Structure 1
Amino acid sequence: MKSNLKNFEASPQLYARIAGILYLVIIVMGFFAETFVRNKLFVPGDATATAYNITHSQFLWKIGITADLIMQICDLPVMIILYYLLKPVNRKLALLNLSFNLIQTAVLVANKLNLLAALFFLSGADYLKSFSPDQLHTLSYLSIKLHDYGFGIGLIFFGFVCLLEGYLIFKSGYLPKVIGVLMSLAGICYLTNSFFLILIPKLSSIVLLMPCLIAELSLSLWLVFKGVKLPVWKEIVWS
């Protein structure tokens, strides 16, 4: 264990690039599942039309769920690498950041059950015959709405992740301060949008999350192409 840690500290660039690549996978998978699956099949306010779309595109719906799960799987190594990258700045805050990230991932993974439930209600199985078609459509629609709120709850924890990462990146000296500022702004946007979703749903908007995409994309690309400033990293780690 100590040997692996020393290898990481001696040459963090490989791990930074792995984290960056996986972070890009997370962004792509999340964007695909939300934009090309759920936004395509879900019809706001119309349970029947939504049920029709899902019923006739069941495999696409399953691909969307799979993409979400791939996103969460990739999130685990990313959060561990970021913990080690940011630990030299403040170990306790890096650990707190990791804890928030683990909770976020657990919530989002469990939340996928709502998307599966939406599909199950439309499966036409014998045990569903006690429900009318309209009732099944409504239950399926409700499951998707529950997923939306579950996703928002998960992003509350991720909002704190972004705030902590933003602070640690800003203070690090071996990662750009501007990315730290962007990540902190992303955290504020995630928290604002999620609490709006719970408290004042009409104010919740995808527009509020646009800075989050810019921040996370900037961080992932920087990790892939630049990594950390080795002289500063070594000075902090080996001091």
Structure 2
Amino acid sequence: MSTHMIAQTSMHAEDRPVIATPMFYARLAGVLYLIITFAAIVAHMYVPSTLIVPNDAAATVANITASEGLFRMGGLGAELIVLLSEVILSIILYMLLKPVNNTLSLIATVSRLIMTTIHGINLLNYAFVLFIINGAAFGIEQSHALVSLFLDAHSFGFTVGIAFLIIHVFALGYLIYQSGYFPRVLGILFLIAGFGYLFDTVGLLFIESYTTTPDLIAMLISVAEIAFPVWLLVKGLNLQKWQQRMR
């Protein structure tokens, strides 16, 4: 090979874009899962349990007024972190799992993005609460009633969004199980979690007396949601089998 040809080959190699590997995407997905988990704990558990008093609108309004920064940063801010991370995670999961079944992976991605869209719109309920507390022209009783209304609407809207996540979880479980480059047990855990989400969502939306997720259901969901990101961070995926799937 001539010196000129070697130089050309070297230049072409340098001009090629650097493409992130599937292992990088797997690890990034694990990081995003953890970000979503921690931010969701703040937005969906800590803030409501700290500021919202069930069946006591006056106390709730007083708490939010006294801790408006927590409501803004912990409620709105943490939820925005969750939603932005969800968008990126949805696309990365599609890239990792499309070698198994492109159509099903696309369905999983779209359903998770629909959930994210609903939850984004649902944040307006929190904004309305702030508008009412910070000077909307309502009497005290009207303000308390409206705050309760928008907080209840936020809770209901969140559950509606989770209904679309059910599709994602079942599809994700099947794709992981069939992949060959992730342990099958992780797919089984997600399929079990899918039934947990289904049971809980039906109860919250359609059964009046069902107001709290049973501990067993929460545990079944948590096992899958924790085990998969931990595996992604520690092991990533079996790169050889992923490449075989791409052929």
TM-score by length of 2: 0.88
User: Does residue 159 of structure 2 align to residue 156 of structure 1?
Assistant: no
Matched length: 229
Pick one of 81, 88, 91 that aligns with 1:77: 88
Alpha-carbon distance, 1:172 to partner: 0.5
Q: Structure 1 unaligned runs (5+)? A: none
Aligned to 1:227, what secondary structure does the other structure show? Answer: coil
- Following the alignment from structure 2 to structure 1, what is the Cα–Cα distance between the partners of residues 96 and 151? 37
Structure 2 Cα separation of the partners of residues 204 and 36 of structure 1 = 18
The percent identity for this pair of structures is 37
Structure 1 residue 40, shift from structure 2 partner: 1.1
> Residues of 2 paired with 1:136 and 1:204: CA distance?
25
Question: 2-side partners of 1:135 and 1:191: how far apart?
Answer: 36
Aligned-pair CA distance for 1:108:
0.5
1:180 match = 187
Q: Which one of the candidate residues 191, 194, 197 is aligned to 2:201?
A: 194
Deviation of 1:201 (Å) = 3.4
Counterparts in 2 of 1:153 and 1:182: CA distance versus 1, 3 Å: same
Is the aligned partner of 1:14 residue 2:24? yes
Number of the residue aligned with 1:229? 238
Of 66, 79, 94, the residue aligned with 2:105 is: 94
Q: Which residue of 2 aligns with 1:56?
A: 66
Match of 1:40 among 50, 58, 77: 50
Residues 84-107 of structure 1, C-alpha deviations (whole Å, 9 max, x = no match): 111011010001111101111100
- Per-residue CA shift, 1:166-225, capped at 9, x if unaligned? 010011111111111111122222222112111103224233333222211111111111
Q: C-alpha root-mean-square deviation of aligned residues, in Å?
A: 1.6
Deviation at 1:35, TM superposition (A): 2.0
Distance 2:68 2:85 in 1: 25
Paired letter, 2:243: K
**Contact kept in structure 2, 1:170 and 1:177, CA below 8 Å:** yes
Instruction: From 18, 24, 36, give the equivalent of 1:26.
Output: 36
Q: For the pair shown, which has the larger CA radius of gyration, 1 or 2?
A: 2
SS of the aligned residue for 2:49 comes to helix
Instruction: Spell out structure 1 runs of 4+ moving beyond 4 A.
Output: none
